[in-house]
């Protein structure tokens, strides 16, 4: 090695890094063992014989010692500050029951400065033996009378202490208010804003840095931040974009989930630094909170959930965004919400022409309860499905939360990744962190070993959705792949034998034949150890490094 990379160092225009004696996951050469990076671009992939001629002039030569090099992952749906607060603060995802949750709240309150608002997330009563959340009196006692905000695991309802509720005038008159229980809708958004207002700039920066540092350590080179007036704030998005630009952290592409009705509002989205008016622009809520909008009532509640947008509102938003050259998108989970979204997109296409709508590469987040008709509409309109396979791993199966909310038959229809791929719908995988953790290889595994076998996809297809899929969702077809001219966004992994894993055994047998030229990937069978990230690079800039000490 002639020169080491300093983590975070911005690559010079002619600086060359040569990685060799490994496995390079590249469509340009499925048998490549070496790769050269010049500045912020991949310059070459190929064999050891050719690498010999490049080594003398390289600024850095890395002996991979058999390690695997892949494109860096892109997480297509993240809430960075909330994910960081879960890492640095009160995370109730691991609480086994009500008593443990209250104990964690008391412990957290005792450790925080007296003037701070207490923030937590991740509680899920469907996993608790008591099957109920804390009462407000229990929360007040555990928090010591301090303001406390606790988001449910799906972030679509929350618990709040009396001290925090008292900071919101007129809270009891807002939709979604409950005297003693989880808040939803406008009441939830109001207490969330009150809680967010109590976050200091120091807390915010520490949380954002923690989340992005964790992402880099997992081989994630880019994230799509889903911000918006009902999920975070303009200040939060601006601070995050500035932090990611200034420090050696993954790239952040911001989406703003606010309705756009004209060119002026579209320009305001751009002024915020966002790449689209999409992400968590809510057409409905979530299944766990009984707020996803369904055609038929919930199996365990006598209602259909909550509709936040009409087809006419969707049409107006899509039309305005398309005319402004801005990507549009929506959060839609239930079949009724997806009906409204598809109807709005079709109406916009009828007004503007299907070609213009397709060219804009609009997107839909989550898209869980799909029908054949809605899948066909996604394909017709070239809508990207930004989906989270870890949801199925967490809540799918015969005894999972999905089955309790919807009944077994409807639950089996959720998250049909194979049907989406067969129809030609572009997929972009993400975590929705902190709803489920940042865990890219675990996400790929969840898609390949979906709890409903008919919805499984090959490891290769899932990997592509979590690498190239996120870039394509941004309108970038040159990234997320290791090929000459592509951005130098890559990760180096210590892993075991490389395999080709696919739901169809006939495909798997042919793909493992050397004549197929199909590059292998790590064994992601349930229980197999996941790869360890040794280095993460974005734009030629080292974000995480265990290779050079």
CATH label of the domain that carries residue 162 = 3.10.310.70
Specify the pLDDT at position 509.
41
How confident is the model over 137-146, as pLDDT tens digits?
A: 999 999 999 9
Model confidence at 508, pLDDT cuts 50, 70, 90, reads very low
* Stronger pLDDT, 241 or 6, i.e. the higher one: 241
Q: So what's the pLDDT on residue 94?
A: 87
Residues 48 and 152 both lie in one domain = no
Q: For the ranges 141-155, 172-186, 497-511, which has the lowest average pLDDT? A: 497-511
Look at strands 220-227 and 158-160 and give their pairing: unpaired
Indicate whether 192 pLDDT > 90: no
Contacts of 193 (CB under 8 A, 6+ apart): 233
Are 86 and 61 part of one and the same domain? Answer: no
Distance CA 370, CA 32 (A): 40
Q: Which of 164-168, 441-445, 476-480, 518-522 has the lowest mean pLDDT?
A: 518-522
Q: Is residue 94 part of a domain?
A: yes
Per-residue confidence (pLDDT) for residue 510, from 0 to 100: 38
**Which single residue is written with the structure tokens 């049909």?**
416
Give the whole-angstrom CA distance, residue 39 versus residue 44. 12
CA 184 remoteness from chain centre: 22
**Element counts in the chain: helices (H) and strands (E):** 21, 23
- Average pLDDT for residues 398-405, to the nearest whole number? 95
What are the DSSP calls for 465-526, one per residue?
Answer: HHTHHHHHTTT-SS-SS-STTSB--EEEEE-S-EE---SSHHHHHHHHSGGG-PPPEE---T
- Identify the H or E element spanning 269: helix 263-271
Quickly tell me which residue has 């008593």 as its tokens: 99
Strands ordered across the beta sheet of 384-387: 73-78, 220-227, 251-256, 274-277, 327-332, 363-366, 384-387, 427-429
Q: Which of 233-237, 276-280, 510-514 is predicted least confidently?
A: 510-514
Would you state the pLDDT for residue 542? 96
- Stretch 379-403: mean pLDDT, rounded? 97
Instruction: Compute the distance between CA of residue 241 and CA of residue 218 in angstroms, rounded to an integer.
Output: 20
Residue 274 counted as domain residue: no
Q: What is the pLDDT of residue 6?
A: 55
What burial class does residue 286 get, using C-beta atoms within 10 Å of its C-beta: 0-12 exposed, 13-18 middle, 19+ buried? buried
Specify whether 94 is located in the same domain as 178: yes
Q: Please give the DSSP secondary-structure letter assigned to residue 371.
A: -
> What pairs with residue 429 in β-bridges?
387
Give me the pLDDT at residue 12, please: 58
Q: Give DSSP secondary structure letters for 318-356.
A: HHHHHHTT-EEEEEE-SHHHHHHHHHHHHHHHHHH-HHH
Task: Single out the residue in 129, 164, 198 at which a domain terminates.
Answer: 198
pLDDT per residue as tens digits for the range 530-542: 999 999 999 999 9
Residues 61 and 86 in one domain: no
pLDDT band at residue 11 under the 50/70/90 scheme = low
Residue-level pLDDT at 180: 87
**How many whole angstroms separate alpha carbon 225 and alpha carbon 470?**
12
Q: Per-residue pLDDT for 261 more than 70?
A: yes
State pLDDT tens for residues 346-384. 999 999 999 999 999 999 999 999 999 999 999 999 999
Contacts 24+ apart (CB under 8 A), 462-465: 462/389, 462/417, 462/429, 463/70, 463/521, 465/427, 465/428, 465/429
- Domain membership flag for residue 184: yes
Residue 316: pLDDT band with limits 50, 70, 90: very high
Quick check: 407 pLDDT over 80?
yes
pLDDT at residue number 518: 75
Nearest to 160 by CA among 187, 186, 199: 187
- Predicted pLDDT at 9: 62
Give the distance from CA 487 to its chain's centroid. 21
Return the structure tokens found at 303. 């209602």
- At residue 507, the pLDDT reads 44
* Residue 3 neighbours by CB distance under 10 Å: 11
Helix (H) or strand (E) holding 419: helix 417-423
Q: Is residue 142 part of a domain?
A: yes
The verdict on 58 and 110 lying in the same domain is no
The first and second tokens of residue 307, run together, are: 């509709």
Indicate if 89 and 66 belong to the same structural domain.
no
Going by pLDDT thresholds of 50, 70 and 90, the confidence category of residue 464 is very high
CA nearest 250: which of 83, 463, 85?
83
Is there a contact between 328 and 317 (Cβ–Cβ < 8 Å)?
yes
Evaluate if residue 5 carries a pLDDT over 80.
no
Q: What mean pLDDT comes out for the span 486-503?
A: 92
Percentage above 90 pLDDT, the chain:
80
The domain total for the chain is 2
The answer to whether position 104 is within a domain reads yes
Q: Is residue 122 part of a domain?
A: yes
Q: Do 88 and 182 fall within a single domain?
A: yes
Length of the chain: 549
33 in the same domain as 94:
no
Alpha-carbon Rg for the chain in angstroms? 23
Domain of residue 32, CATH code = 2.30.40.10
CB 369 within 8 A of CB 414: yes
- The pLDDT assigned to 8 comes to 62
Answer whether 536's CB lies under 8 Å from 72's CB: yes
H or E segment to which residue 366 belongs: strand 363-366
Using the predicted structure, report yes or no on whether residue 296 has a pLDDT greater than 50.
yes
408 inside domain:
no
Whether omega for the bond prior to residue 39 falls within 30 degrees of 0, making it cis, is: no
The mean pLDDT value for 423-446 works out to: 97
89 with 183, same domain: the answer is yes
Tokens 């150890």 identify what position? 529
Containing structural domain, residue 178 = 82-198
Indicate whether 23 and 119 sit together in one domain.
Answer: no
Q: For 116, which DSSP code? A: S
Q: Is residue 110 part of a domain?
A: yes
Residues 35, 104, single domain; the answer is no
Average pLDDT, the chain: 92
> How far is residue 308's CA from residue 284's CA, in Å, rounded to a whole number?
5
Q: Which residues share a beta bridge with 149?
A: 119, 160
pTM score, whole prediction: 0.91
Same domain (yes/no): 121, 159: yes
């Amino acid at each position: 090695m002639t020169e080491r990379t300093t983590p975070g160092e911005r690559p010079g225009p002619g600086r060359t890094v040569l990685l060799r004696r490994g496995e390079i996951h590249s469509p340009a050469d499925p048998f490549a063992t070496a790769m050269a990076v010049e500045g912020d671009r991949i310059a070459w992939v190929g064999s050891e014989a050719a690498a010999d001629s490049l080594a003398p002039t390289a600024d850095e030569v890395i002996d991979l010692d058999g390690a695997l090099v892949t494109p860096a992952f892109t997480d297509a749906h993240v809430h960075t500050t909330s994910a960081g607060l879960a890492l640095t603060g009160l995370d109730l995802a691991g609480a086994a029951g009500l008593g443990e949750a209250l104990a964690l709240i008391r412990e957290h309150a005792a450790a925080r400065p007296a003037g701070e608002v207490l923030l937590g997330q991740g509680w899920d009563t469907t996993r608790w033996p008591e099957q109920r959340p804390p009462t407000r009196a229990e929360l007040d006692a555990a928090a010591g009378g301090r303001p406390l905000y606790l988001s449910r695991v799906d972030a679509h309802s929350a618990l709040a202490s009396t001290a925090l509720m008292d900071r919101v005038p007129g809270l009891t008159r807002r939709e979604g208010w409950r005297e003693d229980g989880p808040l939803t809708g406008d009441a939830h958004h109001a207490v969330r804003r009150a809680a967010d207002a109590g976050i200091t700039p120091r807390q915010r920066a520490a949380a954002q840095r923690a989340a992005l540092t964790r992402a880099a350590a997992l081989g994630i080179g880019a994230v799509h931040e889903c911000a918006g007036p009902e999920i975070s704030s303009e200040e939060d998005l601006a601070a995050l974009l500035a932090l990611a630009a200034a420090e050696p952290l993954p790239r952040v592409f911001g989406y703003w989930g606010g309705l756009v009705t004209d060119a002026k509002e579209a320009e305001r989205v751009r002024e915020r630094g966002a790449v689209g008016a999409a992400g968590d622009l809510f057409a409905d809520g979530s299944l766990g909170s009984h707020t996803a909008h369904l055609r038929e009532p919930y199996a365990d509640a006598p209602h259909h959930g909550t509709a936040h947008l009409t087809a006419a509102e969707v049409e107006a938003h899509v039309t305005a965004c398309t005319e402004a050259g801005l990507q549009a998108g929506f959060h839609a989970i239930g079949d009724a919400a997806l009906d409204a979204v598809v109807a709005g997109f079709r109406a916009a296409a009828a007004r503007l022409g299907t070609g213009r709508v397709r060219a804009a590469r609009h997107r839909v987040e989550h898209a869980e309860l799909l029908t054949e008709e809605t899948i066909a509409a996604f394909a017709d309109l070239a809508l990207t499905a930004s989906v989270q396979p870890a949801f199925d791993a967490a809540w799918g199966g015969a005894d999972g939360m999905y089955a309790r909310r919807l009944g077994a038959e409807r639950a089996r229809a959720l998250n049909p990744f194979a049907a989406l791929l067969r129809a030609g719908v572009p997929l972009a995988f993400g975590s929705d962190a902190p709803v489920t953790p940042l865990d890219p290889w675990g996400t790929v595994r969840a898609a390949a070993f979906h709890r409903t076998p008919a919805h499984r996809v090959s490891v290769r297809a899932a990997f592509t959705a979590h690498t190239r899929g996120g870039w394509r969702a941004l309108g970038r077809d040159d990234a997320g792949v290791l090929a000459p001219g592509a951005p130098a966004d890559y990760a180096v992994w210590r892993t075991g034998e490389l395999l080709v894993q696919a739901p169809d055994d006939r495909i798997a047998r042919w793909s493992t034949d050397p004549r197929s030229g199909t590059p292998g990937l790590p064994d992601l069978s349930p229980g197999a150890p996941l790869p360890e990230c040794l280095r993460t690079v974005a734009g030629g800039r080292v974000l995480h490094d265990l290779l050079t000490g």
